[in-house]
Amino acid sequence: MQTLAMHISNGIINGPVAAVFGALALAALTFCVLRARADLDDRLAPMAGLVAAFIFAVQMLNFPIFTAGVSGHLLGGALAALLVGPWVGALCVAVVLVVQALVFGDGGVAMLGLNITNMALLGTAAAYLLIALLLRVLPRTRAGLAVTAFVSALVSVVVASQGFVLQYALGGTTDLGGNLAGLAGTMAVAHLLIGIGEGLITATTVLTVAKVRPDLVYALRSRRAAAPAVAVPVAGGVR
């Protein structure tokens, strides 16, 4: 019986493919570091530490899906993108993945590039693209922010799971059962369910922060800066 988790263990993907994605992840993270330097300030730096700690905690929880040995866990990419932005957010998730692999053996060290690509890069990027779109079309209310957080979190988890399917198609070495389409469907359905839980946690967390300190929510800060003329002032933050 095989277990499909978001973390890829050593040996599931061959060395050449792992090396290519390792180089890709390193280049992308270097770019994120350069872009993040412009975002970091007295508010964002401590928030980044809190976000990384929160993501570390929730990623340690694995949830079984169905009876076929399928499991998954929360990712935190959407939460990071909402609170600290896409560049710092990707770095937060990447740091968590490195610590988990080196200290806890969660995900193979040789597979770090693959895991970082899926969860820190693809997941966070997909989330922030949706966040940027939804915050433009949805009303600036608590409900609008909640929908944005929920949808972006759910979609980001599914996108990250399909990153693994692509990597497995390029260099899979372990028989995970069935054909590639079946694997993609299993991963999508399993992580859709995980995404619902992640969406609820992300929406609740972001709404709580927005209610107390809306200035600490990166997505709201950037939107106000981009469109001050159309922003609706709301006492105490987002309604």
pLDDT in tens, 50-74: 999 999 988 777 665 444 334 567 7
CATH architecture of 15-223: Orthogonal Bundle (1.10)
3-state secondary structure of 227: coil
Identify the pLDDT of residue 90.
Answer: 96
- Residue 149 is predicted with a pLDDT of 96
> How big is the chain by its Cα radius of gyration, in Å?
18
Tell me which amino acid residue 46 is: P
Contacts of 134 (CB under 8 A, 6+ apart): 144, 147, 148, 151, 152
Tokens in use for 235? 């006492």
Q: What is the pLDDT of residues 19-45, one digit of tens each?
A: 999 999 999 999 999 999 888 887 788
Residue 64 φ/ψ, nearest 5 degrees = -70, 140
Question: Whole-angstrom Cα distance, residue 97 to residue 107?
Answer: 8
The label of the residue with tokens 């692509």 reads 166
Phi and psi, residue 10, nearest 5°: -60, 140
With contact defined as beta carbons under 8 Å apart, do 79 and 197 qualify?
no
- Hey, which bits of the chain come out as E strands? 62-65, 70-73
Closest C-alpha to 172, from 154, 155, 187, 189: 187
Q: What pLDDT is stored for residue 68 in this prediction?
A: 39
Please measure the distance between the N-terminal and C-terminal CA atoms of the chain and give it in whole angstroms. 48
Strands, E, within 5-83: which ranges? 62-65, 70-73
Partner residues linked to 172 by β-bridges: 13
Cβ contact 62:71 at 8 Å: yes
**Which residue positions in the chain have pLDDT lower than 50?**
1-4, 65-70, 225-239
Backbone phi and psi for residue 72, each to the nearest 5 degrees, phi listed first? -160, 180
| Whole-number pLDDT of residue 200 | 93
The CA distance from 28 to 20, in Å, is 12
pLDDT score at 95:
95
